Amino acid sequence: MYYAILIFLCIPYLSTTEYSDIIHSGIYMNEKNHTLIEWEERYSVGIPVIDSQHKQLLITTNELYKACHLGSDLAKQQFKKTVQEAVTYVKYHFSTEEQIMEKTAFPEITAHKKHHAEFIQKVLTDVTNFESGKQFVPHQFVRFLRDWVLSHIAIVDSKLGDYLLNLQRKGRLGKITMRKQSGTEKQIVLAVDDSKTQLTQFKNILPHYDVYTCESPLQALEMIQNMEVDIILLDLAMEEMNGYDFLRKIKKDQKLCNIPVIVVSGNSFEQHINTSLNLGAADFIAKPARPDHLVQKIKQVLRKKNH
């Protein structure tokens, strides 16, 4: 009962009917493979940069859910690490939305920002309780996060999406491009691979970078059109579009062609390496990539880019 009341209080925009429709829509929850939320296109708000970040929020929530099913000691360590990453990413996402709202004079910006602030406060309180050993139920926290994210996307952010699309139809909305805020210390790595396991490994190997992940090359293309990244890690064998075609596309685009790409692939015959390099890849690493080797290559490529 307390949990239900808490969730409802944290979502002041929703009517009882709207909230019930979201929570009982059946679009998430595959507990057999520890997936709590699955993205569906009807959750798109029509703005690529916001959609890409929403997809990343769902990935983060699923990672927290998976951590709940590990052994007790390992679960605590992994859960703490993933919670910290989630808080950092949520703050970044909220900052992105608020920058967009300010630039476009969104009329409901005050209420929207209040919604963000209440959520951050709730999460920070829970994280403090977790770290101090006070009463904290991981599964309850993750389900709160799931319910809030779904409701926020489907109801609150859909209002922002409708507003921006209306401006676009009237020809009053330029291209929305979000850049890193000044003072950001971590460089941004975009990992593109259709293996969830591989994407998780990249995040674990690269804690000193902001690692964003895409399982779809098409989603990655959409993402880099709207957000600055410092380097891309790219698989070759993917269904929607292979790595070669991805390289061809970005190297033909004047705005994207200077983003360095390191191909990380199990297809490591000489022909694959040569083709990748000829198409503009900065380097090639064969899977499985050794963590120290991957980090070294990224540093080398970024140094070359910045000089």
Instruction: Note whether 79 and 197 are same-domain residues.
Output: no
Q: Which two tokens stand for residue 16?
A: 């009882």
In-domain check, residue 178: no
Summarize the confidence of residues 54-68 as an average pLDDT: 81
In-domain check, residue 56: yes
Instruction: Note whether 68 and 212 are same-domain residues.
Output: no
pLDDT in tens, 251-307: 999 989 999 999 999 998 999 999 999 999 999 999 999 999 999 999 999 999 887
pLDDT in tens, 64-93: 887 776 655 655 677 777 777 778 778 878
User: What pLDDT score was predicted for residue 215?
Assistant: 81
* Mean of the per-residue pLDDT values of the chain: 79
Boundaries of domain holding 50: 2-169
**Would you place residue 155 in the very low, low, confident or very high pLDDT band (cuts 50, 70, 90)?**
confident
Q: Of residues 64 and 136, which shows the higher confidence score?
A: 64
Whether pLDDT at 184 is above 60: no
Which stretch of DSSP H or E encloses residue 20? helix 16-23
Round to whole Å and give the CA distance between 246 and 252. 10
Instruction: Note whether 159 and 32 are same-domain residues.
Output: yes
Round to whole Å and give the CA distance between 85 and 81. 6
Instruction: Note whether 138 and 26 are same-domain residues.
Output: yes
In-domain check, residue 176: no
101-105, 137-141, 292-296, range with greatest mean pLDDT: 292-296
- Count of domains in the chain? 2
> What angle in degrees, to the nearest 10, is found between the helix axes of 270-278 and 243-252?
20
Which of 52, 69, 31, 227 minimizes the C-alpha distance to 146? 31
Instruction: Note whether 146 and 211 are same-domain residues.
Output: no
End residue of a domain, out of 137, 169, 201: 169
Instruction: Note whether 116 and 213 are same-domain residues.
Output: no
User: What pLDDT score was predicted for residue 12?
Assistant: 34
Query: pTM for the whole thing?
Result: 0.56
CATH at 285: 3.40.50.2300
Which of 232, 230, 234 minimizes the C-alpha distance to 187? 230
3 state SS of 264 = strand
Instruction: Note whether 133 and 10 are same-domain residues.
Output: yes
User: What pLDDT score was predicted for residue 179?
Assistant: 52
Instruction: Note whether 107 and 145 are same-domain residues.
Output: yes
Instruction: Note whether 127 and 198 are same-domain residues.
Output: no
CATH at 69: 1.20.120.50
**Would you place residue 228 in the very low, low, confident or very high pLDDT band (cuts 50, 70, 90)?**
confident
- Give the β-pairing of 210-214 and 261-265: unpaired
User: What pLDDT score was predicted for residue 57?
Assistant: 85
Instruction: Note whether 17 and 112 are same-domain residues.
Output: yes
In-domain check, residue 175: no
Give the CA dihedral 48, 49, 54, 60, nearest 10 degrees: 130
User: What pLDDT score was predicted for residue 74?
Assistant: 58
Summarize the confidence of residues 149-158 as an average pLDDT: 86
Least confident of 1-15, 66-80, 98-112, 191-205: 1-15
Sheet with 261-265, side-by-side order of all strands: 210-214, 188-192, 231-234, 261-265, 283-286
User: What pLDDT score was predicted for residue 265?
Assistant: 95
In-domain check, residue 143: yes
In-domain check, residue 174: no
Please measure the distance between the N-terminal and C-terminal CA atoms of the chain and give it in whole angstroms. 59
Instruction: Note whether 31 and 121 are same-domain residues.
Output: yes
Instruction: Note whether 160 and 198 are same-domain residues.
Output: no
